[in-house]
Amino acid sequence: MSTSLTPTGTPIGRFLSDGWITTKRNLLKIKRVPDILVFTLIQPIMFVLLFTYVYGGVIDIPGSSYEEFLMAGIFAQTVVFGSTYSGSAMAQDLKDGIIDRFRTLPMNPAAVLVGRTNGDMVINASSMVVMMITGFIVGWRVRSSFAEAVFAVVLLLLFAYSFSWVMAFIGMSVRSPEIINNVSFLVLFPLTFISNAFVPSDTLPTPLRVFAEWNPVSALVQAARDLFGNTPPGAPIGDAWTSQNPIATVIIGMAIMLAIFVPLSIRKFQSISSR
């Protein structure tokens, strides 16, 4: 008597099922500990108000307003910083022994990582909604088409998702959750602040300007700015290829991060869970 496999009985079906279960676990954790989401949403509001009303009056953007120039930078900074939750959560799960419990279950080893990074994407999507509403309140407007604006949001979220895999790998490589916070700031602060996120890169000293032009976060910010229609008319474009092709740079960067850190993270997780 022959039997047929159900969708969840196939390797792909099992992977999707396990990934969905672990994603639900992370979303339920947010529901049970709403402080995580509340403080995550408050931070971008504070950044928007801080930079708009404290620095907006002294930073002149020819042909545009600082509010419209700023928002793409805030979007990029928030979603990139939001990707650090994958690293801290993985480090915390290792410390609490949750990974040892997963090891005893008949589940795909990649499912835990997929669920963790998917949870970060939901948090980042919520942050994007809050930031866009706050931006409209302070004067930011979308000057492009609806399709281009949607593409900008998708690009921001996918870049953050790709970066979540980087942070997940780092989170499994450190010895405690406290260390991942220090590592994150050491990596993310130069990437976000030495960029075109808050000031035009051509105003920076030459060494910092060169770094900013080749900085992937600058490419992400410029891509979002272009797609939202917020690039000031006649704004100077850097000589670097990344500055002249920001959307292509972001897509290539995402592909590289996923190609390198997805297998590395899975291998690292398998190594940890087999101890």
Phi, psi angle pair for 226, to nearest 5°: -65, -45
**Is 135 within a domain?**
yes
Per-residue pLDDT of the chain (275 residues; tens, 9 = 90+): 343 333 445 666 666 777 777 777 777 777 776 776 777 778 888 888 888 888 777 777 877 888 889 899 999 998 888 888 778 777 777 777 776 676 666 777 678 888 888 888 888 898 899 889 989 998 899 999 999 999 999 999 999 999 999 988 988 887 777 787 778 888 888 899 899 988 888 888 999 999 999 999 999 999 999 999 998 887 878 788 998 999 999 999 999 999 999 999 988 887 876 65
pLDDT for 257: 95
**Is 257 within a domain?**
yes
Domain count, the chain: 1
Token digits of residue 177? 């959750």
Cα–Cα distance between 89 and 22 in angstroms, integer? 13
Cα–Cα distance between 181 and 86 in angstroms, integer? 11
**Is 41 within a domain?**
yes
Placement of tokens 């996120």 in the chain: 197
Identify the domain containing residue 134 by its residue range: 7-273
**Is 2 within a domain?**
no
Cα–Cα distance between 275 and 268 in angstroms, integer? 11
**Is 65 within a domain?**
yes
**Is 1 within a domain?**
no
Under a CB-based contact definition with an 8 Å cutoff, are residues 88 and 181 in contact? Answer: yes
Under a CB-based contact definition with an 8 Å cutoff, are residues 177 and 91 in contact? Answer: yes
**Is 86 within a domain?**
yes
pLDDT for 155: 96
**Is 130 within a domain?**
yes
